[in-house]
Amino acid sequence: MLSTTRSRLTRPVWALAAAGLLLLFALTGWAQTGAARIAYVDTQRIVRESELFVVGQQKLNDEFSARNQLLELENARLRELEARRDRDIDTLSTSDALALRREIETLERSIKRRRDDTNQALNRRINELTETIDRRIQEEIGAYAREQGLDLVLTSGVGFAHPRLDITDAIMTRVNAHAQELRQQ
């Protein structure tokens, strides 16, 4: 009975001693490395405000302007056909009215198909642009952190960050330096 009482008492003592040693090692290691250097980057602000985003948006506008003009022309043609149908409905023969209705339906399907294709292509290109910008932001955050000797850079899900930790402007400058590369692509 005495040996079981002793083993029950020694377990907590050993556990306390082990915890104390771990704490001592942790504090010693922390003291040797110094305080961790932490920073914060508002990546959403960079995406919204960077020149890289503006250049990418302009490239997409240029790329899809011809498609949009073609859609506008087709829509104008459709409005003309519908106006003709509404205006001449009483004077058209049955076969002419049927032909006009088929032409309108065919043009409506063509417009819908072209609009869907354009939207899919635009969404695909927007995703590619976003991935390019995100990748560039992450590369610049990593490079900046290594250059400045930062131990941790937080980018999202931060409830509060003191302004002295905010390196968003520095990263924005670095990302904007790559806008010319995107212009030339």
Task: Write down the pTM of the prediction.
Answer: 0.65
Give the separation between CA 42 and CA 19, rounded to whole angstroms.
39
Between the CA of residue 41 and those of 19, 44, 46, 71, 157, what are the distances in Å?
36, 9, 9, 41, 11
* Residue 28 within a domain: no
Of 184, 183, 179, 180, nearest to 133 by C-alpha is: 179
* Residue 66 within a domain: yes
* Residue 24 within a domain: no
Residue 48's pLDDT is: 85
Give the separation between CA 145 and CA 6, rounded to whole angstroms.
54
* Residue 16 within a domain: no
* Residue 21 within a domain: no
Residue 144's pLDDT is: 92
The domain of 85 spans 33-184
Strand residue runs (E) in the chain? 38-40, 152-154
The answer to whether residue 12 scores a pLDDT higher than 60 is no
Sorted by sequence, the CB contacts under 8 Å of residue 22 that are 6+ apart come out as: none
The answer to whether residue 67 scores a pLDDT higher than 80 is yes
Report the number of distinct structural domains present in the chain: 1
Read off the tokens for 126: 């927007």
* Residue 6 within a domain: no
Which tens digit of pLDDT belongs to each residue from 119-156?
A: 999 999 999 988 988 899 999 999 999 999 999 999 87
* Residue 86 within a domain: yes
Q: How many CA atoms lie within 13 A of 137 on its CB side?
A: 28
* Residue 55 within a domain: yes
33 — pLDDT class (breaks 50, 70, 90): low
